Amino acid sequence: MHELSVAAAIIERAADCAREHGAGAVTVVRVRVGELSGVVPDALAFSFDVAREGTPLASARLEVEQVAAYAHCAACAADFAVGVPPFLWCPRCDRPSAELRSGRELEIVAVELPAAEAGVPEEDRARRAATEPPHAGESAPAARPASSGSAASA
Pairing of strands 79-81, 70-72: antiparallel
Which tens digits make up the pLDDT trace of 36-57? Answer: 999 999 999 999 999 999 999 9
CA neighbor of 153 nearest in space, from 106, 100, 101, 102: 106
Give the pTM. 0.71
Which tens digits make up the pLDDT trace of 74-118? Answer: 999 999 999 989 999 999 999 999 899 999 999 999 999 998 555
Task: Establish how many alpha carbons lie within 13 A of residue 27's alpha carbon, considering only the half-sphere containing its beta carbon.
Answer: 13
**Percentages helix, strand, coil for the chain, rounded to the nearest 5?**
25, 20, 50
Pairing of strands 70-72, 99-102: antiparallel
Q: Are 47 and 7 in contact (CB under 8 A)?
A: yes
